[in-house]
A and B are shown apart, each in its own frame.
Chain A
Amino acid sequence: MQTSLFVLSTVLKVLLFPTYHSTDFEVHRNWLAITHSLPISQWYIEKTSEWTLDYPPFFAWFEKFMSIFAAQVDPKIVQVDNLNYDTLATIYFQRTTVIISELVLFWALQRMLTVMGNRPLQKIINWSLMLNPGLLMVDNMHFQYNGFLYGILVHSLVDAKQGKLLRSGILFAALLNFKHIYLYIAPSYFAFLLRAYCFENSGNSIRARSWISAFRPLNFLALGVSVIAVFAASLGPFVAMNQLPQLAGRLFPFKRGLTHSYWAANFWALYSFADRIMIVLVSKTPLGQYFNLALDESALSATTRGLVGDTAFGVLPTVTAQHTLILTVLLQIPSLISVFRKPTFDRFIGSVVLSAFASFLAGWHVHEKAILLCTVTMSVAIANQVGASPNSGVNAGAFSTSDQKGSSALTPRDVRAFMIVSLAGYIGLWPLFFTRPETPIKVLITAIWFVVIGSGLDQCIPKQPKSNNSLLSSKSMLRYFSILERLYVFGCIPVQIYVNIVHEAVFGQDRLAFLPLMMTSVYAAVGVVYGWLLYSATYFSSNKVLDKKKTR
């Protein structure tokens, strides 16, 4: 067991107790109160607080479990009408529940270490996930329970790696009933489990004729019944009470706009940014008349003013929920086909990553926090690969390891994509903490993480005997990064200095308040999109999905 990791992560998380907590803290306090004080029939009806219960039922039960202890600590925590109650005891209690619930992640990581091969690469990934700046910021500062939920996800992925597919599927179904954001990656699970568990899986593609003979009805039945049982346990009571539409309305509030209050680092950030640029061009220069572009005046103040609601564009066409859904599905399909052709764990985990990316990049009303879905699954994908260990000479980590059957070697491209997406995504989380005392904390945890994990992963890349010497002679952790990538990494520094310090010094707190947010979002979006392209290129080239038939 990694005692040091456990001790250090706990120490840091407790030290973060007094940091700023967002309205999510009150959200979860309110849920403790609702689940503790009200009958089940009222859980999804109650609306004394504006922060109504909008997670699936398992999470509500989880809150109910915690509320038993909350009532012991201070009965006022669980009063429904005791809004915005945040005494020191309440903060300590709720922050402690987060730390304890994250032991699920720690447990999952210890399992992953054993299953994926206990090597430096896997250990680094464990450190990276347990002391992840994204999780620290979102869970231990901002306040959420993602560590616990990602723990369940990692358990499920480790089960899949071990070949315990039924358990993996059940865990994932349960996870969906804890937080429905994991629907983003459900298509990959569906494709993988259907093909790997419900059909004969000899590791080869199935010829068109033999699909029926390869079908395994018992497995199909087992999987189907278990998943339905999980959903029945979760949703059953509410179906019985005829509350399903009410529940669905809470879980999927489609009234919200395309982008969140400030833009998550995805396509729509870039799209909105392009729109802003064109508004300026059209209104300030004669270009608009030249191209005969019309300006929607009502849109001028909407997107960047931090309003949650319909997003309007000035020049570019409006995007609807249907558009985003179609785009997301289109982006997910190629990797799903790849998994369906040959359901190995390698392909599956890559497809999970790409599904997460597709949803994050093209989804409707995506939260910046959803980037964790990409980075956590990418971490698992990297842990699944074979890395060099620094002790064992030049050719270490070549494909000789017998316990790593079927796993490919870690490539510089994987590391570059992972580090750039992580850096961009976590910097995209920084605007969550607009209070000054938190600024050094968010910068330091991200910077320390980037340097330590980046260097560690860099050293885990197996050295290619034929690679050119200029790369190997350099000891920089960015030695495999291209010029543009290095520029991007170092470019974060001046951009964030402007956003965090210079802007307020020049313009004050109120004028042009959207500008720093927009700069952060767009800069981060560029990194995430680039990392996604890089990852996709690696995935599809290494899996040779496209020229599969030619090689046969």
Chain B
Amino acid sequence: MTHSSTSPTTTPEAPKLKNLALYRYATWLEENQLKRTAVWIAVAAAVLVRWTVGLGPYSGQGVPPRFGDYEAQRHWMELTIHRPIQEWYSDKSKWWDLDYPPLTAYVSWICGFVGAKINPDWFAWETSRGYESADAKLYMRSTVLVFELLIYISSIVVFTQRWFAHKPWTRQHTALLLILLQPGVILIDSGHFQYNTVMLGLVVWAVNFFLSDQDVLGSVAFCLALGFKQMALYFSPAVFAYLLGKSFRQGFFGCIWKLIKLGLAVVLTLGLLFSPWMQSKEEALQVVHRIFPVFRGLYQDKVANVWCAVNIVIKLRERFAIQDLVRFSTLATLLSFLPSLVHLIAKPTKRGLIYGLINSSLSFFLLSFQVHEKSILLPALPITLLILDEPAMGAMFNTLATFSMFPLLRQEELTTQYYILLGLWVWMTTGTFNNVSSLLKFLSAVSFHLFDLYISLVFLNSYNSIRTPLANNFFTHFPSIIS
């Protein structure tokens, strides 16, 4: 993955566009003068898929005492509508502390406010902990979908329009459909239950603004993304380098003026988001402590992918102190995105920006400390945006990204949705299975699952246990794969 690869990729693995059923569909639309309706059809289809996935169980459904991410989000709605704003981050109820930045809290407040109008029981203070009902699930699912529609899906529509502005419409529409049907995002947000698409959508909106040279607006959008989920920091080196490099090309005064504008935009946006907690130092620190548990010195024994791979050969945690590991991983992360940072400052092109986003987020995902398996959605986003520019990489990466989340999804009994969406993705990106290598790739993934399924069925019958033994053995021996 080099950012200098501006030439159209014609790697042998890349499928020919005509092989893609979606491309043929886009051609049909164009021949029948349906370009205007096509976007609405695509959005409707994307919503339909998300909604049907949402019929499945969510994270921690019916699993007391702590439940899961669904309960966390529901509790934040309960918290924000019942407590004064100053207490949001200092609530001591020991029940799913709010540990996301303020924009998440504001969004939770909106959802809670509207939800409590429909049925106050869903978000009643303290009594609603672990509240589960079909209607509450329905409401929560629809809030995710509404925000996704307003922020993420709209951003993708605009992105494809700007990115493919000088390319044939059929390419633009194919890319739109592919990006909207990327399986990872659907499975995590509409299945597992999270609001990642708000953050991802804001990042794409930032990219959209950068594409049309509205850098100030782009910075505001990116700060909003940061203000929704701190994980957007994975992208920040690239955004920073792009804007800095662009400022340097404006001449001396132009550069100063641009930096002042951008700095003001960042400070004002973040300041506005955090303003309720700015009255005293303690409050501000409390917010920061919650959002970045790093400062509390609390490290969970979760190691990211490269460390997990190394761990098989060298038992890192036995040989090194945890503090050393933190320093080492941070240094490694910095080193790994540094070249791309320098390159982006020297040559701040729009294409380079997206490659930079990939590099920096992938560096964080692979090398930084305390990474969740769901964080793979971050590098997956810019990689998916380049789905027609780097088709082989985009198809492959998303397949593996979704595969890496399989243990999580199986635990939540979303396996059917997983198989279907992953199969759909592989089929959509390889065109037909005529291509032998793509078929082999898919079959190898499927055969792993089938083997796993077989083992679990055999053991299920003999031991009557719900957890699948292979998964347990496999993932206790290699624990870091699944966090």
Contact = CB atoms under 8 A, between A and B. Distances in A.
Interface of A: 3-4, 7-8, 11-12, 14-19, 92, 390-391, 436-437, 440-441, 444-445, 447-448, 451-452, 455-456, 459, 475, 477
Contact of B417 (A15, A440, A448, A455): A15
B41 interface: yes
22 contacts: A3-B21, A3-B432, A7-B424, A11-B420, A11-B424, A14-B420, A15-B49, A15-B420, A18-B56, A19-B55, A390-B32, A391-B31, A437-B134, A440-B47, A440-B48, A440-B51, A441-B52, A444-B51, A448-B41, A448-B45, A448-B48, A455-B34
Interface string B390-424: 00000000000000000000000000110010011
A19 B52 CA distance: 8
B293 to A, nearest CB: 36
Contacts of B41: 448, 451-452
A455 B48 contact: no
Identify which of A8, A437, A445, A477 gathers the most chain B CB atoms within 10 Å of its CB.
A437
Contacts of A7: 21, 424, 427
B135 A436 contact: yes
A449 B46 CA distance: 14
Contacts of A452: 41
Given A3-B432, A436-B135, A475 B33 contact: yes
A475 B416 CA distance: 41
A444 B49 CA distance: 10
A15 B419 CA distance: 10
Identify which of B21, B32, B37, B53 gathers the most chain A CB atoms within 10 Å of its CB.
B32
B416 A437 contact: no
A19 B417 CA distance: 13
Contact of A15 (B44, B47, B52, B427): B52
Interface string B46-71: 01110111011000000000000000
Contact of A455 (B24, B32, B424): B32
Nearest to A436: B138
A441 B49 CA distance: 9
Interface residues of B, number: 30
Interface of B: 21, 24-25, 31-34, 37, 40-41, 44-45, 47-49, 51-53, 55-56, 134-135, 138, 416-417, 420, 423-424, 427, 432
Identify which of A4, A15, A391 gathers the most chain B CB atoms within 10 Å of its CB.
A15
Contact of A18 (B33, B34, B37, B55): B55
A17 B31 contact: no
B32 A15 contact: no
A475 B56 CA distance: 40
A15 B49 CA distance: 8
A451 B37 contact: yes
B138 to A, nearest CB: 6
A3 to B, nearest CB: 6
A16 B48 CA distance: 10
Nearest to A459: B32
Contacts of B55: 18-19, 437
B48 A441 contact: yes
Contacts of B420: 11, 14-15
A450 B205 CA distance: 32
Identify which of B41, B49, B53, B55 gathers the most chain A CB atoms within 10 Å of its CB.
B55
Nearest to A455: B34
B428 to A, nearest CB: 9
Nearest to A16: B52
B38 to A, nearest CB: 9
Nearest to A19: B55
A199 to B, nearest CB: 44
A92 B33 CA distance: 40
Nearest to A17: B416
Given A436-B135, A440-B48, 11 more contacts: A7-B427, A14-B420, A15-B417, A16-B52, A18-B55, A441-B52, A444-B51, A448-B41, A448-B44, A451-B41, A455-B34
A18 B191 CA distance: 13
Contact of B32 (A12, A16, A440, A456): A456
Given A14-B416, A447-B44, A455 B37 contact: yes
A465 to B, nearest CB: 19
Contacts of B427: 7
A448 B40 CA distance: 9
B44 to A, nearest CB: 5
B44 A444 contact: yes
Nearest to B31: A390
Contacts of A440: 47-48, 51
Contacts of B134: 436-437
Identify which of A448, A452, A477 gathers the most chain B CB atoms within 10 Å of its CB.
A452
B425 to A, nearest CB: 10
A190 to B, nearest CB: 40
A444 B55 CA distance: 15
Contacts of B53: 15
Contacts of A12: 52
Nearest to B34: A455
B50 to A, nearest CB: 10
Contacts of A459: 31-33
Contacts of A4: 21, 24-25
A197 B44 CA distance: 48
Contacts of A11: 420, 423-424
Identify which of B52, B55, B138 gathers the most chain A CB atoms within 10 Å of its CB.
B52
Contacts of A437: 55, 134, 138
Contacts of A390: 31-32
